[in-house]
Structure 1
Amino acid sequence: MPRIRPAAAAVLAAALAATPMFAAPAAADAADITVVYTEGQTWETGYSGQFTIVNEGDSALQDWTLEFSLPDGASLSSIWNAEMDESGGAYTVTPPAWGAPVPAGGSYGVGFNGSFSAGVTATEPESCTLDGAPCSGGPPSEDTEAPSAPAGLRATDQTSGSVTLSWDAADDDVGVAGYEVLRDGEVATSTTGTATTTTVGGLQADTEYAFSVRAYDAAGNRSTAGDPVTVRTPADDGGTDPGPGGDRRVGYFTQWGVYARDYLVQDMDTSGTAEKLTHVNYAFANVSADGQCFMANQPGEGDAYADYGRSFGAADSVDGEGDTWDQPLRGNFNQLRELKDEHPGLKVLISLGGWTWSKNLSDAALTAESRERLASSCVDMYLRGNLPVIDGAGGTGSAAGVFDGIDLDWEWPASAGHPDNTFRPQDKENFTALVQEFRDQLDALGAENGREYELSSFMAADPGKIEAGYEVGPLMEDFDFVTVQGYDFHGGWEDTANHQSNLTPIPGDPGPDIYSMQETVQAYVDRGADPADLVMGVPFYGRGWTGVSPGPDGDGLHQPADGAAQGPFENGIDDYKNLKDLSGFTLHRDEEAGTAWLYDGSTWWTYDDPAAMRQKVAWAQEQGLGGIMAWSLDGDDAQGSLMAAIDGALDGS
């Protein structure tokens, strides 16, 4: 492979944004299997990228082994969707424990983070083989013909921070492996396979950009760039506009928060939070073993009593009036209805699944019949409002009018989540079909009663889970927006004190999983998402460790820990409202990464205070994202300080 010698790391990212290669597995026809290498984001000492195995044959590739080395001074620090071994600079990459067959006519991606030392001029793999065959394709490749230049480049959508581009497919004598999108002559992003549309984010408002596209094939031949298109991004209004992406303010209200945390629906009102929100997602709705939305009133299955049976007195009620014994609908659902009466523009969505209740979603999404059954049961129960009569739950009234749509929280399609959760490789395609089924049924219900219902989803931050589980482009056509996990990057399950919600890569991050919101957002955009449809999640809680030594900088960051710090409900986790008042701790910040942490010489907490929230909002707006989501509202203080910081930053104040 050619060595590239750019003058700086930023140029390295552009020069290597899509350097392809191919190999044939021993059990497959050389013409059917292609491995495309693409490099993505680059920072001062590191970079990210992906290998994509494309199978154009008629049968699945059941197993594979990818082997390669890297130039001196370059290394891989973490990998996802696969297992990696390194010995003496030689890397062996194999499928993960759950398997990774590459379906006929499909593909499989393996993402990674790497690092390079000063003076390194190239990082692309060398001496590469797939199942022992050279990455040049078994027999030496004689493909020297470049694809045709893509024609018809056009801007199909734009905000002040992003531009969505489409173009006509190029031709090649063997096959086009992907496209590179150039911004002012340098690679801004790339696609693999047949995709002929993408969104370029991170742009400046009221600025002119020249875009062009070139095609590449599996042998590394690149076309000339097609005719360019010039786009000027719209101007913002000087600070009163919430930004190029949007001003959605989404907060999760937890069913169980009304107990030990004593956070009631009324608290959203009295804290001033409700007037700042556009959406409340009620967590969670459960899915039965036979693939239907259902309610129960027993631990681990559901709490219908909290949902619609519990009576609230006047002092705890949103409208200041106590529930009566014969009132048909009580509980959180009735309180949410009262909250919407107080704030008519507020939307409330029922969130389906979550960490523990995603266990039956793979089964429910498996067939067209099971998808129809799941969607219709959820629509009937929560949007038509046909609540079941459950012993011990109390009220039995209709919940019609409480919910304005459905939020899908499957953790995670085609990837491991909670140990009890089932997942399959085909979840990726099945999730797309499930979303389409929900969209169709919501539209049909809306046509019946003359209103619109929204559909959103909570989706993963891990680039590996994104590649494994989401057909991003098709999915985004059916969602109103999606919220993206922006936290839990690290936690007390690891043995090193580390940030849980960093915006940008952190030098020296020891892993084992190393990524940031920067890489997460780029992973969605590269796969066809408009940044304006992505709402960035932020934590209203912190994660902590104990037995952390000061380290060379005296701040405990990236230092070994004895274990998770003590928390009120679960070790290693505590709410912002508790962490903000800790005594004896020193506050530290990394303003570029939007992180803050507390350290007393032994105990270490990563958390977000109002200042960190403002940094995160500013970054999200710079990327053209669609707003901010908070998990979860019960972690804020009684004054709603975190929500106030988010609201003020989105309003430009």
Structure 2
Amino acid sequence: MRTHLLGLAAAAALLAGSAVAAEVGSYYTAWSVEKNFRLKQFDQSGAAAGFTYLVYAFENVYKMPDGGYRCDSGRDDEDTGNGMRATLDYAHRFGAGESVDGSADKPGQPLAGNFNQLRQLKKRHPQLKLLVALGGGEWSHWFSAGAATPELRRALVSSCIDLYLRGNLPRLDGHGGAGAAAGIFDGIDLDWEHPGLDDKASFTLLLEEFRRQLDALGKPAGKHYLLTAAVNSTDEKMRYTDPAAYSRSLDWINLMTYDFHGAWSKQGPTGFQSNLYPDPASGDDSPRSVDSGVQRFLKAGVPADKIVVGVPFYARGWSGVDAANNGLYQKATGPAQGFEEGAEQYSTIAARHLPSFYHPLTRQLWTYDKGTFWTYDDPRVIREKAGYVRERGLRGLMSWSLDQDDAAFSLSRAMQDARR
């Protein structure tokens, strides 16, 4: 009997340890500094203490004159597809009142900008792992070509590791240099949006090459570098990859379980963008939900402890929406107006105190007021997703993106329920 009780105690301790070890993370965007967001706010709020990782978004991959494809830095270029914002990365100078540790950036110091702020944040929160995201919605143009052969993959991966993990940055306005960013990032997040029909094998092979080179980099010091990937959760995108194969190279998948509906369908019908469960009444041919995406990846062979559920810190919306059913599943005349067409950050929506409605089946929130419909997550919705993660033994929760939370970091705090 005593042995049995000890076994139960050990099992309970193991489960408790597993819950505490859940990941809680967010994407931190390079351009959020231009929206007056500072990592100092995140630190001083106390929310940073409950996070396990941040992903810095984004860095680009470029076609080089020699015909190869590599990570690169050292200049600014506003071109949408081939752009670069290196000044924001490591040459923008934060004043003392803006910086995490209260020190002002000075001319000539090797590292300034967002990278230095991340370094300061990490020093204050040693539990925080930092990853750098490659690609994204606008900067994934060259992944397919760069992953096409073993030689191209080796060169691509080597260049990214040299820049962001070895920290060898080109000189820019007196900043940068060999090893300037060394020790900041603990890994790489591949955000290839999105592999196509001919990229199935290449996607897996590119991640295998990242894993091989990251392991080689960390071996002398006994350090494990993280490798993650941001992946669309829908069947339409998943079919072009092999989750069971590529997940073997990953520490976890940042599953983009949002953007199920949006005003890219300008006339609607309106629908939920990040609902936990599907609703048969939605009229969708293929109902989308967080649970549907998670189950899809589990059935494809991805272990539960490699799935991190994504939550949006922004709303999707339409205008000119019919009033029936408080605007839900109704026609519209166009996108609602927000920080971009059809989207608004949570902090702005929450401050309006609009009439809101909660759907008990899908576990999603929406607002409807004067013909405008918004669908989004609030703290209650995110806590329910945190419970879902705990109950199913998933890896954790992540969000897009940190700067869209409110001043109290209400959504970020709700995410931390995944660790309880």
TM-score by length of 2: 0.91
Does the CA contact (< 8 Å) of 1:543 and 1:572 recur in 2? yes
Match of 1:502 in 2: 275
CA–CA distance in structure 1, aligned partners of residues 380 and 150 of structure 2: 47
Q: One-letter code of the match for 2:392?
A: Q
1:136-181 CA distances to partner (integer Å, 9 max, x unpaired)?
xxxxxxxxxxxxxxxxxxxxxxxxxxxxxxxxxxxxxxxxxxxxxx
Percentage of matched positions with identical amino acids: 41
Q: Secondary structure at the match of 1:497?
A: coil
Correspondence list, 1:393-404, <5 A: 393-397=173-177, 398-404=180-186
Count of residues in correspondence between the two structures: 400
**1:412 offset after TM fit, Å?**
1.1
CA–CA distance in structure 1, aligned partners of residues 363 and 389 of structure 2: 11
Does the CA contact (< 8 Å) of 2:279 and 2:361 recur in 1? no
Does the CA contact (< 8 Å) of 1:556 and 1:601 recur in 2? no
Q: Do the aligned partners of residues 436 and 651 (structure 1) sit closer, same or farther apart at CA in structure 2, a change above 3 Å counting?
A: closer
CA–CA distance in structure 1, aligned partners of residues 250 and 396 of structure 2: 15
1:584-636 CA distances to partner (integer Å, 9 max, x unpaired)?
x3110123422101111411100111111111111222222110001000011
The answer to whether structure 1 residue 578 and structure 2 residue 360 are counterparts is no
Correspondence list, 1:116-195, <5 A: none
Does the CA contact (< 8 Å) of 2:280 and 2:287 recur in 1? no
Match of 2:289 in 1: 516
Does the CA contact (< 8 Å) of 2:100 and 2:117 recur in 1? yes
CA–CA distance in structure 1, aligned partners of residues 384 and 284 of structure 2: 24
Match of 1:299 in 2: 78
Does the CA contact (< 8 Å) of 1:549 and 1:601 recur in 2? no
Q: Do the aligned partners of residues 579 and 241 (structure 1) sit closer, same or farther apart at CA in structure 2, a change above 3 Å counting?
A: farther
CA–CA distance in structure 2, aligned partners of residues 264 and 337 of structure 1: 13
Q: Do the aligned partners of residues 512 and 562 (structure 1) sit closer, same or farther apart at CA in structure 2, a change above 3 Å counting?
A: farther
Q: Secondary structure at the match of 2:157?
A: helix
Match of 2:379 in 1: 610
More contact order relative to length (CA 8 Å, sep ≥ 6): 2
Q: One-letter code of the match for 2:349?
A: L
Correspondence list, 1:441-452, <5 A: 441-452=213-224
Q: Secondary structure at the match of 1:465?
A: helix
Correspondence list, 1:183-262, <5 A: 236=12, 243=19, 247-259=22-34, 261-262=35-36
2:160 aligned to which of 361, 378, 391: 378
**1:582 offset after TM fit, Å?**
1.2
Match of 1:484 in 2: 255
1:57-87 CA distances to partner (integer Å, 9 max, x unpaired)?
xxxxxxxxxxxxxxxxxxxxxxxxxxxxxxx
Q: Do the aligned partners of residues 278 and 463 (structure 1) sit closer, same or farther apart at CA in structure 2, a change above 3 Å counting?
A: same
Correspondence list, 1:290-369, <5 A: 290-295=68-73, 296-300=75-79, 301-369=83-151
Match of 2:4 in 1: none
1:389-438 CA distances to partner (integer Å, 9 max, x unpaired)?
24xx5512410011111000001112xxxxxxxxxx33111111111100
The answer to whether structure 1 residue 457 and structure 2 residue 229 are counterparts is yes
Does the CA contact (< 8 Å) of 1:565 and 1:572 recur in 2? yes
CA–CA distance in structure 1, aligned partners of residues 38 and 345 of structure 2: 16
CA–CA distance in structure 2, aligned partners of residues 355 and 518 of structure 1: 24
Q: One-letter code of the match for 1:549?
A: D
CA–CA distance in structure 2, aligned partners of residues 618 and 594 of structure 1: 12
Higher strand proportion, which one? 1
Question: Which stretch shifts more, 276-285 or 292-301?
Answer: 292-301
**1:549 offset after TM fit, Å?**
1.1
Match of 1:145 in 2: none
Match of 1:263 in 2: 37
Q: Do the aligned partners of residues 591 and 272 (structure 1) sit closer, same or farther apart at CA in structure 2, a change above 3 Å counting?
A: farther
Match of 1:597 in 2: 366
1:528-559 CA distances to partner (integer Å, 9 max, x unpaired)?
111111000000111111111111x3x11000
**1:513 offset after TM fit, Å?**
5.6
Q: Do the aligned partners of residues 493 and 267 (structure 1) sit closer, same or farther apart at CA in structure 2, a change above 3 Å counting?
A: same
Q: Do the aligned partners of residues 313 and 461 (structure 1) sit closer, same or farther apart at CA in structure 2, a change above 3 Å counting?
A: same
1:555-581 CA distances to partner (integer Å, 9 max, x unpaired)?
1100001111011x3121111111001
CA–CA distance in structure 1, aligned partners of residues 315 and 17 of structure 2: 30
Match of 1:170 in 2: none
CA–CA distance in structure 2, aligned partners of residues 395 and 268 of structure 1: 25
Name the larger-Rg structure.
1
Does the CA contact (< 8 Å) of 1:287 and 1:357 recur in 2? yes
CA–CA distance in structure 2, aligned partners of residues 238 and 546 of structure 1: 50
User: Which blocks of at least 5 consecutive residues in structure 1 are unaligned?
Assistant: 1-231, 415-424
Does the CA contact (< 8 Å) of 1:240 and 1:651 recur in 2? no
TM-score by length of 1: 0.59
CA–CA distance in structure 2, aligned partners of residues 651 and 304 of structure 1: 35
Higher helix proportion, which one? 2
Match of 1:288 in 2: 62
**1:511 offset after TM fit, Å?**
3.5
Q: One-letter code of the match for 2:359?
A: D
Match of 2:5 in 1: none
Does the CA contact (< 8 Å) of 2:108 and 2:174 recur in 1? no
CA–CA distance in structure 1, aligned partners of residues 308 and 380 of structure 2: 19
Does the CA contact (< 8 Å) of 1:239 and 1:651 recur in 2? no
Q: Do the aligned partners of residues 558 and 236 (structure 1) sit closer, same or farther apart at CA in structure 2, a change above 3 Å counting?
A: farther
CA–CA distance in structure 1, aligned partners of residues 15 and 331 of structure 2: 43
Does the CA contact (< 8 Å) of 2:275 and 2:363 recur in 1? yes
Q: One-letter code of the match for 1:255?
A: A
Q: Secondary structure at the match of 1:432?
A: helix
Q: Secondary structure at the match of 2:134?
A: strand
Does the CA contact (< 8 Å) of 1:546 and 1:562 recur in 2? yes
Does the CA contact (< 8 Å) of 1:383 and 1:399 recur in 2? yes
